[in-house]
Copies of this chain bind each other. A is one copy, B any other.
């Protein structure tokens, strides 16, 4: 009798175990799939693919490609800081062209130069690099890519006046943009800016050193940012004032 009970219990346990293990298998497959997607997404966001596969980038670049090409324009080339810059409104200048794309990195900017170099503009103001650093590119890679970008522009548009803007400081800490905000990143930014300054002076490029105007206590002044990276309206007004002599001359 006791034996039968033990065997019955064994049967029940077996059944439960099979059910439970099946659930385990299901969960394991789910987690494996998630990990796989995450791994692939992280590859996607790395410089190699340069974001040029995201529909956001494609949409915006496709617009740039068909917008009428004019000579005598002033092109602002960059990432979200440029894209959110209401340039024509702030400079009251119809020759300005906003060519910023949210989240853009230097290799992706290099890939979208042709609509700009097709009819070389009068001036190009560049603001780029923070997304490269935020996504883990070493500072030497950022510098190498930046030089590649400037070489391309100088080769294809010899008459265009180039303005390299210092990379903006970031907060030392941020909740929403944690990867972009640390004292190490601020140190890298200063290092790259110093290098860009030297490179510019050797290559007939105007380096616009606005970095310190936005700094307080070694990081981005809190009044100039909502999230530690992106700029407030007040910061855009200051940026406009700093740029005016170079845009209008």
Contacts and interface: CB of A to CB of B under 8 A. Distances in A.
A84 B100 CA distance: 11
Contacts of A66: 232-234, 236-237
A248 interface: no
A226 interface: yes
Contacts of A58: 226
Interface residues of A, number: 45
A122 to B, nearest CB: 15
Contacts of A16: 17
A62 B226 contact: yes
Contacts of A98: 86, 89
Interface in A4-56: 6-7, 9-10, 13-14, 16-17, 20-21, 23-24, 27, 30, 55
Kindly list the 3 A-B residue pairs having the minimum CB-CB distance in the complex, ordered from nearest: A66-B233, A88-B88, A27-B27
30 contacts: A3-B3, A6-B6, A13-B13, A13-B14, A20-B21, A20-B23, A20-B24, A23-B27, A27-B27, A55-B176, A55-B226, A59-B84, A59-B230, A59-B232, A62-B226, A62-B232, A63-B232, A63-B236, A64-B233, A65-B233, A67-B86, A67-B89, A86-B98, A88-B88, A88-B96, A89-B94, A89-B96, A89-B97, A89-B98, A92-B94
Interface of A: 3, 6-7, 9-10, 13-14, 16-17, 20-21, 23-24, 27, 30, 55, 58-60, 62-67, 84, 86, 88-90, 92-94, 96-98, 176, 226-227, 230, 232-234, 236-237
Given A9-B10, A13-B14, A55-B176, 14 more contacts: A3-B3, A6-B10, A10-B10, A13-B13, A23-B27, A27-B27, A58-B226, A63-B84, A63-B232, A63-B233, A66-B233, A67-B236, A92-B94, A93-B94
